[in-house]
Amino acid sequence: MELDLLPLNLPSDNEKLTVIAGPCSAETEEQVIETARQLAYKGCHIFRAGVWKPRTKPGGFEGNGEAALPWLKRVKEETGMLTSTEVATPEHVELALKYDIDILWVGARTSANPFAMQAIADSLQGVDIPVLVKNPVNPDLELWIGAMERINQAGVKRIAAIHRGFSSYDKKIYRNLPMWQIPIELRRRIPELPIFCDPSHIGGRRELIAPLCQQAMDLGFDGLIIECHCDPDKAWSDAKQQITPDILDYILGLLVIRDQSVTTEGISALRKQIDDLDNQLMELLSKRMRVCREIGHYKKEHNMTVLQTSRYNEILNKRGAQGSLCGMDPNFIKTIFEAVHEESVRQQIEIINQ
Ligand SMILES: O=C(O)C(=O)C[C@]1(C(=O)O)C=C[C@@H](O)C=C1
Q: Is 311 in the pocket of ligand 1 (CB under 6 A)?
A: yes
Q: Is 316 in the pocket of ligand 1 (CB under 6 A)?
A: no
Q: Which residue's alpha carbon is nearest to atom 8 within ligand 1?
A: 341
Q: Is 344 in the pocket of ligand 1 (CB under 6 A)?
A: yes
pLDDT score recorded for residue 345: 98
Q: Which residue's alpha carbon is nearest to atom 1 within ligand 1?
A: 311
pLDDT score recorded for residue 13: 66
* pLDDT tens for each residue of 269-312: 999 999 999 999 999 999 999 999 999 999 999 999 999 999 99
ipTM for this prediction: 0.99
State in Å: Cα 181 to ligand 1 middle.
29
pLDDT cut 70: percent of the chain above it = 99
Q: Is 312 in the pocket of ligand 1 (CB under 6 A)?
A: yes
- Closest ligand 1 atom, residue 340 Cα: 9
Is 183:163 a contact under the CB 8 Å cutoff? yes
The structural domains of the chain, ordered by start, are: 18-254 (3.20.20.70), 265-352 (1.20.59.10)
Q: Is 341 in the pocket of ligand 1 (CB under 6 A)?
A: yes
Q: Which residue's alpha carbon is nearest to atom 3 within ligand 1?
A: 308
Is 14:6 a contact under the CB 8 Å cutoff? no
pLDDT band at 219 (very low <50, low <70, confident <90, very high): very high
Q: Is 292 in the pocket of ligand 1 (CB under 6 A)?
A: yes
Task: Say if residue 191's pLDDT is above 70.
Answer: yes
pLDDT score recorded for residue 11: 84
- Closest ligand 1 atom, residue 288 Cα: 9
- Average pLDDT (132-160) is 98
Read off the pTM: 0.90
Task: Say if residue 15's pLDDT is above 70.
Answer: no
- Which 3-state string (H, E, C) describes the chain? CCCCCCCCCCCCCCCCCEEEEECCECCCHHHHHHHHHHHHHCCCCEEECECCCCCCCCCCCCCCHHHHHHHHHHHHHHHCCEEEEECCCHHHHHHHHHCCCCEEEECHHHHCCHHHHHHHHHHCCCCCCCEEEECCCCCCHHHHHHHHHHHHHCCCCCEEEEECCECCCCCCCCCCECCCHHHHHHHHHCCCCCEEECHHHHHCCHHHHHHHHHHHHHCCCCEEEEEECCCHHHCCCCHHHCECHHHHHHHHHHCCCCCCCCCCHHHHHHHHHHHHHHHHHHHHHHHHHHHHHHHHHHHHHCCCCCCCHHHHHHHHHHHHHHHHHCCCCHHHHHHHHHHHHHHHHHHHHHHHCC
pLDDT band at 173 (very low <50, low <70, confident <90, very high): very high
Task: Say if residue 21's pLDDT is above 90.
Answer: yes
pLDDT score recorded for residue 16: 74
Q: How many angstroms separate the CA atoms of 279 and 263, rounded?
A: 24
State in Å: Cα 316 to ligand 1 middle.
11
Query: What is the amino acid identity at position 284?
Result: L
- Closest ligand 1 atom, residue 312 Cα: 15
Task: Say if residue 98's pLDDT is above 80.
Answer: yes
pLDDT score recorded for residue 65: 97
pLDDT band at 60 (very low <50, low <70, confident <90, very high): confident
pLDDT score recorded for residue 165: 98
Question: In Å, what is the CA distance from 88 to each residue of 20, 111, 123?
Answer: 19, 9, 11
Indicate if the alpha-carbon torsion angle 145, 147, 149, 151 is positive or negative: negative
* pLDDT tens for each residue of 228-255: 999 999 999 999 999 999 999 999 999 9
Task: Say if residue 23's pLDDT is above 80.
Answer: yes
Q: How many angstroms separate the CA atoms of 292 and 236, rounded?
A: 60
State in Å: Cα 126 to ligand 1 middle.
59
